[in-house]
Structures are given as C-alpha cells and as structure tokens.
C-alpha cells in the first residue's frame, strides 16, 4: 500500500514538473513573438508625432486633446488589434517613453484608455486612477526588464512569472523598443500575458494521475486471471493478422502484449509490414508529385506573374514561372540562389533594403501565429525599384504566402506583380500635368499683369541660365557663387511678384544646390527645368502679344503701372502665405522711370522683407493696440533732379538686439562688442547676413539687402534706413535723374 502511494505521488510530481517546464517555455516564446511582432506593426509616423508632444507637466485639457487626436486613436486601435490576437491571454498592451530619470518613464498610449473614458462619460463608476493617461508617470524601479530595455534598446521578457493576487493568475511581461527611420528610440511597447496554460496543465495532470493510479490498481487485480489466456490468444491473433495482411489489408498489425518469443515475433512482423507500407507510400507519393509537377509546369509557363517557391532558409527551388525569367531578364536559372541575392545582388549598395527584407522573412518564418493581414501591413516589398540585368529598372510588388501546416512552414511562395508600365505611365502623366500647370500659371500671370512687363524678366532669366550653364565648373567659386546667389534670389522674388510660383520654386531649389559639388547633377537638372519653364512663359507671352496686335481695345498700361499692379498682387499672395493681414498702398507721383528695369528688384526685395520681417501677425498687432491690418507703402516722387523711392511699413521696427545676436553668432561681432544702431544697419547690408536661423523660400540666405545695396550703387543711388521700435521702418532710395520723368 505504501509503495502504491509512493508511485502515485512520484508520477504526479514528475508529470507536474514536465508540464510546468513545457508550458513555461511555450508561454515565454509566445510573449517574445507577440511583443516583437506588435512593435514592428505599429505606425511610427503617428507615434513620432505623438511622442514629440509628451512631457511631465501636461495640463489635463492638453492630455484630453492629445488622447482625442487621430495619432492617439491610430495607436490605440493598433494596440487593441495586438491584444485581439489572443484576448484570453493578453491582459494589457501599452506604450511608454523614456525620461531623463532612469527610474521613471511616461505613458504614451494604453489600449484601455479610450474605452474607459467612454465608460466614464456614460456614467459608469470607474476611478480615474485606473487609467494610464498619456504623460502619466510610470515607476519602473520594480520593473527591471522594462528598465533594461530602455537602457539597452533591445527587446526582452521577464525571467519568471508573477502571481497576481487580485485576479489569481500568473502573468509575464515582454517589452520591445520602437525606432524611427533614423534609428532613434521613440517608445517601448509593453505587453502583459496571463499564463493560463499552467493552470490548465495542473488540472489535467491531477485528473491524469488519478486515472493512472486507478488503472494500475485494477490491472493488478486482473493480472493473475489474464496470464494464461494471453499466452494462447497471442499466437492465434498473430496468425489471423498474417492472414489479413496476405489478403492486402495493409493496415493489419499484430497486437504485442508480451516480451517473450511470441512478442518478439509480433514486433518483427509489424516492422516488416510497416516497411512494405512505407515503400508503397513513397512510390505513390512520387507518382503524385510527378503528375503535380507536370501540372505546375503548365501553370507556371502560362501565368502573367513572376512566381517562385523558396524554402524557409530563402533558397529558391526549381519551381518558378516563365514570366519571372522575362521580368528579371534572367539568363540562368535562379534555382539554388539565396532570395536576398536574387532581388538585391549589390550587397553593399542595398545593405539597408537587404536588412529590412531579412527581418521580414524572419518574421514570416518564425512567427507562425501572425495573420496574413498583419504580415501584409509590414511587407517592405511594395513599389520597389530593382535594377536587373543590363541596367534595366523594373518596379514590382511582392506578395509572400506561407505554405505548410499550423506548426511548420514548409516553403514560401513569392508572387511578383510587374508595375513598371504603371509607374512609367504615372510619371508621364505627372510630367504632362506639370507642363499644363506651368502653362496655366503663365496664362494667369499674363492676364493679371499684361504681356509687356515680362520682357525684362525673361531676358534676365535666360541670361542667368546661360551664365550658370557656361560656368558650371566655376559656379562653386566663392565670388561667382555670391553673384549667382544674388541673381537667383532676385529672379525668385520677381517670379513671385508676377505670380510665377513654379519658376520661383525652381530658383529656390537652385539656391539650395549652389556650392554643393556633390549635387552637380541635381543642379544641372534644376537649371534645365527652370529654362523649360522660362520657355513656356515666353511662348505664352508671344501668343498674347500676337493676339493683342490683331485686336483693338484700350491703350496698354505703362510699364510702371503694370509693375505697381504686380506688386499689389504679390503683397496679397505673400501676406496670405505668411498668414498676415496686409494692404499695399502705392503713392506714385511720376508716370515714367527711365531706369525702372534696374529698380524693380530692390523694390520687390524691400516689400518682401517688410512682409516677412517687419509686419507682425494680427494677434501681435492687437496686443500692441495697433490695427489688425498692416500697411506697406510705396512712394515714388520727384524732388527736382532727384528721384525718391520709399518703401515703408507700420510694423514692429528693426529689432537691433536680434541683429546683434545674429552678428555675434556668425562671428561678425565679438560677444562684448559695443556697436551703435548705425553700425548694425551697415551689418544688415553685408553679403551673407540674415537674422533668420533657417532658410525658407522667402528669406534666410542673407542675399536680400546685399542685393538691394548692389543694385542701388549700380544706379548711382543711395539708400537710408529709418526705424522706430513698435512703429515701423522706412527704406528711402534716392537716384539722380538725367531727364524728366513725368
């Protein structure tokens, strides 16, 4: 009796241990796979945008606004999708970000927050403390694994289960870092999973051990009655089995119940029978495979998709479609090649793409439970441009399908979809659309300003293009680069004044590329695009001039009138772009300016500077008790033999403190230098100086006032600046007149 109890206890203990070890390994593997796959599936753009707004001292209304944002809802939906893959096991899914305190983190998103908030709004009794709000602190001193992942930036899981007294379950947590495209850590995904497998295993073990014990006791009672009968029954049973097998019942097997000679004979017969059955099975399988391969060959030779099969280790098999050979311009069979080498033969040049595809194929192979929708979401092979034999570029999508059972991937089918023609057609349509838009833009500008004003603009543009094409090798030299920067900046300003925004954008691109020797090909392309746009404008102007010659109507406006009208349009468009309310007020007391061609660019630059630098936005103006709508005045009058041109605004005036700080930062002034406002005005007119930190398509290159100074000197003029803080700034240019202007 004591022996039976000892046997019962020992069997149950060993079985429990085996089940615990097995289920623990399975559970940990499931946690690791789930948290890593979940991290790979999250939208990093939404996460990056949300994380950039998180800090410790967020106000409740800001938290509520961020949790109602589209970024938060996208991440919440993805967290709930991760949990929905196994809702009975996954308890919590959440995101948290690092802080400057290694013992503390901040929650970024939680799968439950939006649902709990909805319940609170519905009147349910839920404590706010149950919500892991965005920005709420996460004390990681008791979560060693979470802290380790923040430090190492590598995925990890807890080493042991923790028993939750409230829910009476064992749980384990896993964590995986999430990076942006530059490899910067954005956040960490945390997943808590319940180990329900262990509880089920314990129940099953208890029942199983009881059944085994009862069976053992029953067998011990009947053993003495069965020994004699079994000796004779085994011989009869073996003879009957041999007869059945001889009648082609190949499933017949001898029941071996003893370890004596009869039992040995039964085992030998069973082994022989199984050998015969296995051989017949292999022969039948070979015949089926031969038929199937013949059918597959017919299919693969006729489908219009690039299809191949590879094993889990990425080795391509001999089954691939004829269209694949045509699509990739193959000379030799791809059989036996590594799939990575097949699509990315340039190992160094395609290192990033190879690494990304390798990670995806690893997930495809190892994460058996990942559904196809999630795999399609993280598939990196979409609209991929590949260079195949002879430098031919193709554009393809690749779809990956696993073949096998629920526990094992036998092979992977890859289906390539050729999108080269669609991409080429799309590019052609885009080019046509751009040409059409450029022509419409030209027509609109000419209708607004009249064709006669574009003569000088086009001549200057074509001259500048010719210069930079002729001096492409020396354009990066410092003196010539300064010249080209001024000229293209002026061309950009004039184009904007006339409403030729595409030309303005091309001129801005050229400014960005000047001086960058590694961007020579890009600079050449931008210059060609600018030249094409200038040709489009010139052809449109010529058509309008032809129509004007063949029609009768009102007398054409003077060049000065047309120019002033274009300034009105420029002010309206640019103030709208800057989100400022500004009205342009021209006061022109002359009818003609003999050197108007050289005066246009300085006037355009000064008005643009007034709008960008001088005028405040409407809220700042209201706070300063000024009218919401600002004014920019252009005054042109003759005083004897002197032409006076004034551009003034009612903005904030020149911030000399900002000018001085910029000069110190650029090394123009020493940090302790004592300078007057007149000295700072002179610095403002230096080449390359700008008070702006960043370059925009309006300002920031330091060529605006430098260009004005050079243009005024070319016309033998002078420029003066008068500014009053909070009241505005006036630039006065004076020029000697050689003849009457009115």
Express each pLDDT in 235-274 by its tens digit.
777 777 777 777 777 787 777 666 777 777 777 777 877 8
Is pLDDT at 311 greater than 50 in this prediction?
yes
User: What mean pLDDT comes out for the span 364-390?
Assistant: 83
SS (H, E, C) 582-630: EEEEEEECCCCCCCHHHHHHHHHHHHHHHHHHHCCCHHHHHHCCCCCCE
Pick the more confident residue, 29 or 316.
316
For position 742, what pLDDT does the model report? Answer: 41
User: What mean pLDDT comes out for the span 605-625?
Assistant: 90
User: What mean pLDDT comes out for the span 41-48?
Assistant: 90
User: What mean pLDDT comes out for the span 669-686?
Assistant: 87
For position 481, what pLDDT does the model report? Answer: 72
User: What mean pLDDT comes out for the span 437-459?
Assistant: 65
464-507 pLDDT, tens digit each: 787 777 776 655 555 667 777 777 777 777 777 677 777 888 88
Give the confidence band of 8 by pLDDT, cuts at 50, 70, 90. very low
Q: How far apart are CA 126 and CA 116, in angstroms?
A: 8
Pick the more confident residue, 142 or 77.
77
Q: How far is CA 484 from CA 152, 206, 510, 703, in A?
A: 50, 88, 9, 10
| % of the chain with per-residue pLDDT over 90 | 18
> pTM for the full model?
0.38
How many CB atoms within 10 Å of residue 629? 14
User: What mean pLDDT comes out for the span 388-394?
Assistant: 84
For position 689, what pLDDT does the model report? Answer: 78
Q: How far is CA 567 from CA 12, 59, 274, 576, in A?
A: 94, 46, 97, 14
| % of the chain with per-residue pLDDT over 70 | 76
> In Å, how far from its chain's centre is CA 149?
24
**In contact, 669 and 675? CB cutoff 8 Å:** yes
SS (H, E, C) 547-593: HHHCCCCCCCCCHHHHHHHHHHHHHHHHHHHCCCCEEEEEEECCCCC
Is pLDDT at 179 greater than 70 in this prediction?
yes
For position 421, what pLDDT does the model report? Answer: 76
Range scoring the smallest mean pLDDT among 69-83, 171-185, 476-490: 476-490
SS (H, E, C) 194-215: ECHHHHHHHHHHHHHHHHHHHH
Residue 194, both tokens? 């319940």
How high is the mean pLDDT of the chain? Answer: 79
For position 16, what pLDDT does the model report? Answer: 43
Q: Count of H helices and E strands in the chain? A: 23, 17
Is pLDDT at 5 greater than 50 in this prediction?
no
Beta pairing partners, 636: 588, 645
Pick the more confident residue, 645 or 701.
645
Tell me whether residue 495 is exposed, middle or buried, using C-beta atoms within 10 angstroms of its C-beta: 0 to 12, 13 to 18, 19 or more: buried
Tell me whether residue 583 is exposed, middle or buried, using C-beta atoms within 10 angstroms of its C-beta: 0 to 12, 13 to 18, 19 or more: middle
The phi, psi pair for 733, rounded to 5°, reads -110, 130
Pick the more confident residue, 439 or 654.
654
Q: How far apart are CA 300 and CA 335, in angstroms?
A: 15
Q: How far apart are CA 645 and CA 563, in angstroms?
A: 14
For position 293, what pLDDT does the model report? Answer: 59
**In contact, 111 and 105? CB cutoff 8 Å:** no
For position 258, what pLDDT does the model report? Answer: 66
Give the confidence band of 668 by pLDDT, cuts at 50, 70, 90. confident
For position 229, what pLDDT does the model report? Answer: 56
Is pLDDT at 36 greater than 80 in this prediction?
yes
Pick the more confident residue, 22 or 218.
218
**In contact, 511 and 522? CB cutoff 8 Å:** no
User: What mean pLDDT comes out for the span 724-732?
Assistant: 93
Give the confidence band of 741 by pLDDT, cuts at 50, 70, 90. very low
For position 149, what pLDDT does the model report? Answer: 92
């Amino acid at each position: 009796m004591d022996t039976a109890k000892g046997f019962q206890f020992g069997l149950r203990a060993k079985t429990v241990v085996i089940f615990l070890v097995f289920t623990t390994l399975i559970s940990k593997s499931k946690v690791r796979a789930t948290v890593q796959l979940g991290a790979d599936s999250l939208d990093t753009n939404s996460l990056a945008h949300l994380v950039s707004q998180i800090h410790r001292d967020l106000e409740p209304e800001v938290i509520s606004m961020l949790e109602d944002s589209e970024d938060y809802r996208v991440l919440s939906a993805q967290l709930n999708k991760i949990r929905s893959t196994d809702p009975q096991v996954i308890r919590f899914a959440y995101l948290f970000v690092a802080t400057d305190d290694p013992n503390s983190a901040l929650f970024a998103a939680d799968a439950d927050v939006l649902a709990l908030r909805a319940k609170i709004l519905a009147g349910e009794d839920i404590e706010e403390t149950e919500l892991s709000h965005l920005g709420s602190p996460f004390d990681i001193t008791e979560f060693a694994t979470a802290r380790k992942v923040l430090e190492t930036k590598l995925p990890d899981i807890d080493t042991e289960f923790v028993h939750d007294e409230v829910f009476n379950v064992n749980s384990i947590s896993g964590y995986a870092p999430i990076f942006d495209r530059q490899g910067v850590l954005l956040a960490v995904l945390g997943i808590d999973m319940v180990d329900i497998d262990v509880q089920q295993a314990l129940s099953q073990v208890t029942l199983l051990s009881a059944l085994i014990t009862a069976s053992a006791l029953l067998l011990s009672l009947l053993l003495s009655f069965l020994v004699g009968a079994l000796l004779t029954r085994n011989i009869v049973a073996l003879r009957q089995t041999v007869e059945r097998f001889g009648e082609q019942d190949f499933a017949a097997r001898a029941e071996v119940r003893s370890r004596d000679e009869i039992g040995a004979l039964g085992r030998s017969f069973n082994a022989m029978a199984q050998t015969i059955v296995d051989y017949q099975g292999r022969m039948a399988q070979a015949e089926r495979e031969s038929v199937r391969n013949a059918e597959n060959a017919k299919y693969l030779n006729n489908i219009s998709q690039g299809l191949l099969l590879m094993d889990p280790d990425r080795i391509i098999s001999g089954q691939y479609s004829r269209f694949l050979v045509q699509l990739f311009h193959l000379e030799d069979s791809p059989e036996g090649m590594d799939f990575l080498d097949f699509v990315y033969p340039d190992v160094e040049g395609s290192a990033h793409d190879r690494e990304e595809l390798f990670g995806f194929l690893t997930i495809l192979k190892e994460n058996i439970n990942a559904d196809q929708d999630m795999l399609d979401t993280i598939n990196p092979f979409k609209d991929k441009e590949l260079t195949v034999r002879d430098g031919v570029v193709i554009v393809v999508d690749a779809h990956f399908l696993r073949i096998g059972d629920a526990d094992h991937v036998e092979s992977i089918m890859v289906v390539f979809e050729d999108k080269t023609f669609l991409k080429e057609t799309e590019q052609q349509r885009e080019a046509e659309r751009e040409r059409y838009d450029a022509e419409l833009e030209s027509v609109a500008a000419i209708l607004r300003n009249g064709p006669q004003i574009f003569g000088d603009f086009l001549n200057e543009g074509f001259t500048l293009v010719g210069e930079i094409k002729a001096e492409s090798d020396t354009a990066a030299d410092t003196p010539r680069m300064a010249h080209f920067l001024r000229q293209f900046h002026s061309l950009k300003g004039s184009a904007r004044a006339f409403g030729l925004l595409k030309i303005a954008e091309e001129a801005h691109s050229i400014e960005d590329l000047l001086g960058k020797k590694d961007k020579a090909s890009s600079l050449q392309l931008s210059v060609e695009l600018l030249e094409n746009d200038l040709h489009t404008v010139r052809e449109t102007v010529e058509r309008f001039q032809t129509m004007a010659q063949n029609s009768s109507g009102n007398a054409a406006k003077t060049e000065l009138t047309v120019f002033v009208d274009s300034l009105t349009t420029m002010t309206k468009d640019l103030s709208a772009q800057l989100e400022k309310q500004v009205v342009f007020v021209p006061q022109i007391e002359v009818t003609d300016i003999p050197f108007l061609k050289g005066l246009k660019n300085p006037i355009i630059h000064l008005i643009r500077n007034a709008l960008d630098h001088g005028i405040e936005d409407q809220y700042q103006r209201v706070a300063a008790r000024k009218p919401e709508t600002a004014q920019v005045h252009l005054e042109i009058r003759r005083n004897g033999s002197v032409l006076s041109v004034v551009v003034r605004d009612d903005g904030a005036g020149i911030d000399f403190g900002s000018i001085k700080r910029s000069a110190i930062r650029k090394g123009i002034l020493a940090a302790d230098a004592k300078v007057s406002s007149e000295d700072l005005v002179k610095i403002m007119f230096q080449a390359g100086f700008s008070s702006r930190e960043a370059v925009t398509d309006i300002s920031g290159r330091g060529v605006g006032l430098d260009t004005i100074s050079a243009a005024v000197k070319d016309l033998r003029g002078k420029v003066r600046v008068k500014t009053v803080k909070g009241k505005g700034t006036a630039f006065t240019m004076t020029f000697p007149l050689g003849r009457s202007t009115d």
